[in-house]
Chain A
Amino acid sequence: MANRRARPNGLNVTIDGVEMSAVEGESVLDVARRAGAAIPTLCYLDGLSVHGGCRVCLVEVDGEHAPRLACSTPVTDEMEVRTATEAITEHRRIVVELLFAEGNHICAVCVSNGSCELQDLASEVGMDHVRFPYQYPDRAADASHPKYVFDPQRCILCTRCVRACAEIEGAHVWDVAARGADSYLVTELNLPWGEAPSCTWCGKCVTVCPTGALAFKGRAIGEMEHDTDLVGFLARARTEGEWEGRS
């Protein structure tokens, strides 16, 4: 303990009873992942800014009344975090059920069936049915882009595509329009994607999508696999100048 305290800005954090040392600025999620705690995430993605919108990374923090988001809560000294209590597990299941009720998530006919983070999460939290009334929103797919398809029925508004496009590609083609339950993804001024002049066709939005909402054109059921590590790799390569002096 004495050694740890001597570290500059060193913090002592307890995750599920495991004592960890952390540095100021780290999130609960960062430290928990190091501690080996399996906190599920959807909107969080390594390499992108933190959004804190999906609410599945909820954890309990000692002394806090409400659960906190692991991804956007910075660690503090002597913080005690529990990541898998009964209440937290139930919260997470409710969140996933609400996500299913909100869109039209029909795994059996989805391009990402079998490689979908929402589907994986549902099975992880033990969701065997949905207790909330399905909203069956009427959302039309956008297949105007020559290479990709956007099906908003499968969109959970995690904004990974928005952030990948704005932060990694630098084009900011996507954004979220309207508010609350009416929110939807737009390209530019609600143009058909294929007509958005700022789209560079790079496909980063497609690779980071956790569900089958964004997919390569022409993929059949279960054929769409995403490469969600790509933006983390690019972000690291860029910040650490990995390619410098190698050309």
Chain B
Amino acid sequence: MSAPQTSPPAAPGSPNGAGHPSGDERFALLDKTIRRARFAQDQLIELLHTAQDIFGHLSDDVLIYLARQLRLPPSRVYGVATFYQLFTFEARGSHSCTVCTGTACFVKGADDIVRTVSDTYAVPPGQTTDDGLLTLATARCVGSCGLAPVVVVDGVVHSHQSSESTLEAVRAVAEQAQAVEAEG
């Protein structure tokens, strides 16, 4: 009944005695937040957010780690994490474009925006481009219906968007990244 994927992150010990036993400093960062939350089980959602901020996505290792630290059943952690659409379980692109497809945004043409970005970057909604540049996501109502249609590019909210203006915003962050890469 051994299951390699459920074991906690390997603990090879760290070379200099400091840092996290897993050898991954990001777990030390997560530990700090867990301690600040006093290992409280009802802080699970907050800690999932923190973990996603730190790691970019929630891998099985991270979920198991949180379950062990909070003394929660893994199935409960998995159930909570999969309930919310904001949590993602696969590595995301270096940039993100989230199109709101809530009622107001949908009526104002959000599906056109999704289709345009999806066609231009050859990436289906909910997935990441092959080169890891862009993740195209949809969200159900970001709570700013007066700004419909709303698009969130790299965490920045863009209001009253069209397909063209969205492409422009995405191109802006993506090209900036490529320019930095070229310089470096």
Chain B binds chain A? yes
Measuring CB to CB, which residues of chain A are less than 8 angstroms from any residue of chain B? 166, 171-179, 186-191, 194-199
> Size class of B's contact patch?
10 to 19
- Can you name 10 A-B pairs with beta carbons within 8 Å? A173-B75, A175-B73, A177-B83, A179-B82, A189-B5, A189-B6, A189-B64, A194-B1, A195-B6, A196-B3
Neighbouring B residues of A197 by C-beta, 8 Å: 1-3, 6
Q: In the complex, A148→B63 CA distance in Å? A: 26
Q: Which residues on B sit within 8 Å (CB–CB) of A186? A: 75, 78-79
Interface centre among A171, A190, A194 (most CB of B within 10 A): A190
Q: Residue B21 at the A interface, CB < 8 A?
A: no
A188–B1 CB distance below 8 A: no
Please tell me if B60 contacts chain A, counting CB pairs below 8 Å.
Answer: yes
Q: Report the bound CA distance from A198 to B6 in whole Å.
A: 11
Which residues from A are CB-within-8-Å of B83? 177-179
Asked if residues A172 and B75 are in contact (CB atoms below 8 Å), the reply is: yes
Give the residues in chain A near B6, CB-CB below 8 Å: 188-189, 191, 195-197
Does B23 sit within 8 A of A, measured CB to CB?
A: no
Contacts of A188 in B (CB 8 A): 3, 6, 73-75, 78
Contacts of A171 in B (CB 8 A): 73
B34-65 CB mask vs A (1 if < 8 Å, else 0) is 00000000000000000000000000100110
Number of interchain pairs (Cβ within 8 Å): 60
B76 at interface, CB cutoff 8 A: yes
Q: How far is the CA of A177 from the CA of B83 in the complex (A)?
A: 6
| Across-interface contacts of A166 in B (CB, < 8 A) | 73
Query: Is B1 a contact partner of A195 (Cβ separation < 8 A)?
Result: yes
Q: Which of B2, B63, B73, B79 contacts A198 (CB 8 A)?
A: B73
- Closest chain-B Cβ to A93's Cβ sits at a distance in Å of 30
Q: Tell whether, in the assembled complex, residue A191 and residue B5 are in contact, meaning their CB atoms are under 8 Å apart.
A: yes
In the complex, which residues of chain A have a beta carbon less than 8 angstroms from the beta carbon of B79?
175-177, 186
A96 to B99, CA, bound (A): 37
Contact (Cβ within 8 A) B78 A190? yes
Ranked nearest first, the 4 interchain pairs of A and B with the lowest CB-CB distance are: A175-B75, A172-B73, A175-B79, A177-B82
How far does the alpha carbon of A194 sit from the alpha carbon of B2 in the complex, in Å?
Answer: 10
Which residues, 64 to 90 on B, are CB-close (under 8 Å) to A?
64, 73-79, 82-83
Q: Which residue of B lies closest to A188 (CB)?
A: B74
The interface residues of chain A lying within 8 Å CB-to-CB of B63 are 189
A152 to chain B minimum Cβ distance, whole angstroms, is 15
> B73: which A residues are within 8 A, CB to CB?
166, 171-173, 175, 188, 198
Report yes or no: A177 in contact with B78, Cβ–Cβ below 8 A: yes
From residue A220, how far is it (CB to closest CB) to chain B in Å? 27
**Residues of B contacting A195 in the complex (Cβ-Cβ under 8 angstroms):** 1-3, 6
Cα distance A194–B77 when bound, in Å?
19
Closest chain A CB from B84 CB (angstroms): 8
Task: For A175, give its contact among B60, B64, B76 (CB under 8 Å).
Answer: B76
Q: Indicate whether A174 sits within 8 Å of B1 (C-beta atoms), given known contacts A179-B83, A189-B63, A191-B6.
A: no
Residues of A within 8 A of B1 (CB): 194-197, 199
**In whole angstroms, how far apart are the Cα atoms of A188 and B78 in the complex?**
7
- A171→B76 CA distance, assembly (Å): 11
Min CB gap A134→B, angstroms: 25
| A-chain residues with CB within 8 Å of residue B77 when the two chains form the complex | 189
User: Contacts of A175 on B, CB cut-off 8 Å?
Assistant: 73, 75-76, 78-79
Chain B proximity of A190: nearest CB distance (Å) = 6
User: Min CB distance, A216 to chain B, in Å?
Assistant: 19
A184 (CB) vs chain B CBs: closest residue: B82
> What residues of chain A lie closer than 8 Å to B2, measured between beta carbons?
195, 197
- A188 and B5 alpha carbons, distance in the complex (Å): 11
User: Which residue from chain A places its CB closest to the CB of B76 in the assembled complex?
Assistant: A175
| Selected contact of A187 from candidates B5, B64, B75, CB within 8 Å | B75
Identity of the chain A residue whose Cβ is nearest the Cβ of B78 in the assembled complex: A189
